[in-house]
Amino acid sequence: MNLSPAEQERYSRQLGAGVLSEEAQLNLRRSTALVTRVGGMGGPAALMLTMAGVGRVIIAHGGDLISPDLNRQVLGSEAVIDRPRAPHFADYLRSMNRFVEVDYVDHEPSDSEALELACKSNIVLSCPPTFEERLRLNRAATKAGVPLIDAAQWGMTGTMMVVRAGLTACLQCVYPQPPPFEEFFPVVGAISSAIGSLAALEAIKILSGTGNPLFGKMLTYDGFQGRVTTMELTRTEACPCCGGL
Amino acid sequence: MKIRVVTMGRHYHETEGLPEFLELQEAASLDDAIDRLGELLSPGASFPGSCLIAVSGKHVGTIASHSAVSLGDGDELMLLAPVAGG
Ligand SMILES: [Zn+2]
């Protein structure tokens, strides 16, 4: 099936040489992306996936929006303060692209829910605040056999890694023990959006079959010092998550 | 020999006093470099065990568990305290 004239018009600025072919755009339309959660990084990531034309975007995020979220959570607004994030964020995403189906889960998925969601998806974007949740999504993506993109931030810095379990290091290879959790971490929204958008770009490349994804690498963006680096990640043979693959 | 030191990640401001370049004896090991850097941190401070280590762009493990690596002149040692956020 081809793109409709309305879809061709919508995506005209991203179709062509050096960006997406029509077949690549169709690949996006056939794809489902799971983004959890959709705060500072997951919000911009989900927005960019929706605007790019990923056919189905599933977001997961619990709780109500609070005022301090609005330095970085681009799917929120003053009108959503004290209201549940997930349904309002989903409405906003739907308002941005009529060609995309947006579903939401109004809580953080459990182990079994994460696996079920990953099995319905072609890619998982991991953007939660705790390593426990990140490692859960990593296990789910590994079992489901789909790529995972992990986006993280602190202050004016961020990291992003792209995993294809069995072929590259997974998150648990890199973090054998969950590092400490810091609930009230400092962050400037500009780094959240930058890292979230880069995660979306990797997802768009992978789903559409365009360019060279950063599989097996961690991109580090040190906005404080003005430094960007790439780290080649090493698999752990005895990794409890991907060791047997 | 001289290596370059790059630190980033969680609480990055606490390592601002570390030198950008570190002089080490020829054929010094990664552990030698980590020990030297540890001595240069503020009293009572230390690198977390979960801190990732990369030598010239190649991830070699964490502070708590890493492979034995011999450093060479011009290597870049990156220490990255894991970040999560949301
Ligand atoms: Zn692994």
Q: Report how far residue A240's alpha carbon sits from residue B44's, in angstroms, rounded to the nearest whole number.
A: 34
Q: Is A182 on the interface with B (CB under 8 A)?
A: yes
The pLDDT score that the predictor gives to residue A180 is 83
B21: CATH: 3.10.20.30
On whether residue B63 sits in a domain, the answer given is: yes
Cβ within 8 Å, pair A177-B8: no
Number of structural domains in chain B? 1
Among candidates B59, B64, B84 on the partner chain, residue whose Cβ is nearest the Cβ of A152: B84
Q: Is any Cβ of chain B less than 8 angstroms from the Cβ of A111? A: no
Residue B12 and residue A175: Cβ atoms within 8 Å? no
B57 closest CB neighbour out of A40, A153, A232: A232
Query: What mean pLDDT do residues B54-78 have?
Result: 96
Question: A192, A231, A236, A239: best mutation site toward chain B, by most B Cβ within 10 Å?
Answer: A231
A175 in reach of chain B (CB within 8 A): yes
Residue B86 domain-assigned (yes or no): no
Summarised one tens digit per residue, pLDDT across range A174-200 is 999 888 888 889 999 999 999 999 999
Structural domain including B38 reads 2-81
| Signed CA dihedral, A96, A102, A106, A110: sign only | negative
Res B42: pLDDT: 87
Maximum alpha-carbon separation in chain A: 51
On chain A, the residues whose CB falls within 8 A of the CB of B60 are: 234
Chain B, 47 to 66: residues with Cβ < 8 Å from chain A are 48-50, 52, 54, 57-62, 64-65
**Count of Cβ atoms closer than 10 Å to residue A54 Cβ:** 30
Over residues A124-137, the mean pLDDT reads 97
Report how far ligand 1's centroid is from the alpha carbon of A171 (Å): 6
- Mean pLDDT, range A40-63, rounded to an integer: 98
Q: Where do we find the tokens 């690596």?
A: B69
pLDDT given at position A114: 98
Interval B4-60: pLDDT, tens: 999 999 988 888 889 999 999 998 999 999 999 999 998 888 899 999 999 999 999
Buried b (16+ CB within 10 A) or exposed e, B11-47: bbeebeeeeeebebeeebebeebbebbeeeeeeeeeb
- In sequence order, what are the beta bridge partners of A214? none
Q: Is A186 in CB contact (< 8 Å) with chain B?
A: no
For chain A, domains (ranges, CATH) are 21-232 (3.40.50.720)
Expressed in angstroms and rounded, the spacing between residue A134 Cα and the centre of ligand 1 is: 13
Residue B12 located in a structural domain:
yes
pTM: 0.97
